[in-house]
Chain A
Amino acid sequence: MPLYDCLFLVKPHVRKESLMDLVARVGIQAYERNGVITDVKSFGTVQLGYGIKKTDGRYYQGQLMQMTMMVPPSFNQELQYLNKEDHLLRWLIVKHRNAVYGLEFINEDEGKDELSMFRSGSLFNKGDNEDDDDDDDDGDEEYDVE
């Protein structure tokens, strides 16, 4: 599942409760799709580049919220209902292009460890220690289970 940023630009006069309600609803949707929410951020009130015209007038300010989450790519389709949302001025979903996922992420870490082991010059000792630790851990778990 790719990492996405979901941004909501809400009308300035909207109360905090209804704003949180809106964000929470999207969060629940993400969880329903087995997604993970990694971050929720508020940018506060921001000045807009131009007046956004809605049925109830022009808006020159907005409250900006950002939600970072890992959701399936089809999640965008499910958010289309936000277009009919009354409090929203704009909403946007963008993918993190430089994010590293899954096996690549793990491999990257292992590579780093290997390099550090070479640098220390005590490759074998370190490996032995790690093995010992692993064995110990396994033993502990077994005892716990018993």
Chain B
Amino acid sequence: MMRRIALQKELLRQPSLCGLISSKQVLPLFFRHQSFRTDNGNSGRNSDNSFESSDDFERRLFGDISNNEINDSFYRKLDKLEKAHGRSGIGSKLNSDDSRIIDGISDSFNSLSDGMDEKLKEAARTFVFSDEIHDENYKFRPDVTFYPGMTYTTRDLDLTKPGVQKRFKRNEFETTTQEVLKKADFRNVRFLSNFLTEAGIIIKRSKTRISAKAQRKVAREIKTARAFGLMPFTTMGTKPFIFGRSMKDEAEDYEHQHNTASTATDP
């Protein structure tokens, strides 16, 4: 698990690196130095470079152009900054590796020898997982519950970011004012039953999201239908009202309730 998260973090950092590289392309010289520095990072940092002779430097840079010292001090600063950002280990190696690709054009130096390239490629292609996925309670993202039929973005799968629990929108009844004004009629029980709760109460306007006029009409039609016997006044303590189904308590209803071990059996 931990390994995987680390890998993901690393991969996630990739786009930012790419951004860096593209911006760096303007200065090819910059790269060469940087790749060099990161590769021999420790030795370079330990020895005091500012007092090193320019010849030494040129030798190390394979006969590169002059004003190395200025560059060097500049890159040293960069290195420090990098350290301060906490980008070390794989991060800096990655950096060197990526810059090497562009470096290959001038083939003054490349870091192919360290074998990091293959390692990284493999890391990018393989997804490490352990046996935990066979676990019954395994969750890729334990802090977020994904329901079937839910959509998610790649950002939701990013384990480095805190999980945002989305409220799953059940396919609830939604309607428009126009539709209501057209369809609401006390004979149209199928439509009106959408405006009743399980207990047979009319759903309020803040939930139905229709105009006051339409809501008044719905309420009026439901009340007419109630008085006419087509819709229930209340279904508290009885089974919920569903269009086209009898409200009579039948034996099979009780059977179903017993099967599901429901306690809400009515006398």
Chain A positions near chain B (C-beta within 8 angstroms): 7, 9, 43, 46-52, 58, 60-62, 66, 89-90, 92, 94
Chain B count of residues within 8 A CB distance of the other chain: 21
Q: Hey, which chain B residues are within 8 Å of A9, CB to CB? A: 228-229
Contact (Cβ within 8 A) A49 B241: yes
Q: Hey, which chain A residues are within 8 Å of B243, CB to CB? A: 47
The 5 closest A-B CB pairs, nearest first, are A49-B232, A49-B231, A60-B248, A48-B229, A50-B232
Instruction: Choose from A43, A47, A48, A62 the contact partner of B187 (Cβ within 8 Å).
Output: A43
Q: Hey, which chain A residues are within 8 Å of B227, CB to CB? A: 90, 92
State in angstroms the CA–CA spacing of A9 and B224 once bound together: 14
Asked if B30 CB lies within 8 Å of chain A CBs, one says no
For the complex formed, measure the closest distance between the CB of A93 and the CB atoms of chain B, giving whole angstroms: 11
Q: Hey, which chain A residues are within 8 Å of B115, CB to CB? A: none
Q: Hey, which chain B residues are within 8 Å of A50, CB to CB? A: 229, 232-233, 247
Asked if B244 CB lies within 8 Å of chain A CBs, one says yes
Q: Hey, which chain B residues are within 8 Å of A90, CB to CB? A: 227-229
Q: Hey, which chain A residues are within 8 Å of B232, CB to CB? A: 49-50
Asked if B226 CB lies within 8 Å of chain A CBs, one says yes
State in angstroms the CA–CA spacing of A58 and B230 once bound together: 14
Asked if B246 CB lies within 8 Å of chain A CBs, one says yes
Chain B positions near chain A (C-beta within 8 angstroms): 186-187, 189, 200, 224-233, 241, 243-248
* Chain B minimum-CB-distance residue to A91: B228
Contact (Cβ within 8 A) A47 B231: no
Q: Hey, which chain B residues are within 8 Å of A7, CB to CB? A: 187, 228
* Residue from A9, A46, A62, A66 with most neighbouring chain B CB atoms (10 Å): A46
* Chain B minimum-CB-distance residue to A92: B228
Q: Hey, which chain B residues are within 8 Å of A92, CB to CB? A: 224, 227-228
Contact (Cβ within 8 A) B229 A89: yes
Q: Hey, which chain A residues are within 8 Å of B230, CB to CB? A: 46, 48-49
Contact (Cβ within 8 A) A60 B247: yes
* Residue from B227, B229, B231 with most neighbouring chain A CB atoms (10 Å): B229
State in angstroms the CA–CA spacing of A60 and B59 once bound together: 100
| A–B pairs, 10, beta carbons within 8 Å | A7-B187, A7-B228, A48-B247, A49-B189, A49-B200, A49-B247, A58-B248, A60-B246, A60-B247, A94-B224
Instruction: Choose from A43, A52, A66, A94 the contact partner of B229 (Cβ within 8 Å).
Output: A52
State in angstroms the CA–CA spacing of A90 and B227 once bound together: 9
Instruction: Choose from A49, A51, A60, A66 the contact partner of B225 (Cβ within 8 Å).
Output: A49
Contact (Cβ within 8 A) A47 B229: no
For the complex formed, measure the closest distance between the CB of A56 and the CB atoms of chain B, giving whole angstroms: 15
Q: Hey, which chain A residues are within 8 Å of B189, CB to CB? A: 46, 49
Contact (Cβ within 8 A) A47 B226: no
Contact (Cβ within 8 A) A51 B228: no
For the complex formed, measure the closest distance between the CB of B213 and the CB atoms of chain A, giving whole angstroms: 13
Contact (Cβ within 8 A) A49 B229: yes
Contact (Cβ within 8 A) B229 A62: yes
* Chain A minimum-CB-distance residue to B231: A49
For the complex formed, measure the closest distance between the CB of A60 and the CB atoms of chain B, giving whole angstroms: 4
Q: Hey, which chain A residues are within 8 Å of B248, CB to CB? A: 51, 58, 60
State in angstroms the CA–CA spacing of A5 and B43 once bound together: 98
Q: Hey, which chain B residues are within 8 Å of A52, CB to CB? A: 229
Q: Hey, which chain B residues are within 8 Å of A51, CB to CB? A: 247-248
For the complex formed, measure the closest distance between the CB of B253 and the CB atoms of chain A, giving whole angstroms: 12
Q: Hey, which chain B residues are within 8 Å of A43, CB to CB? A: 187
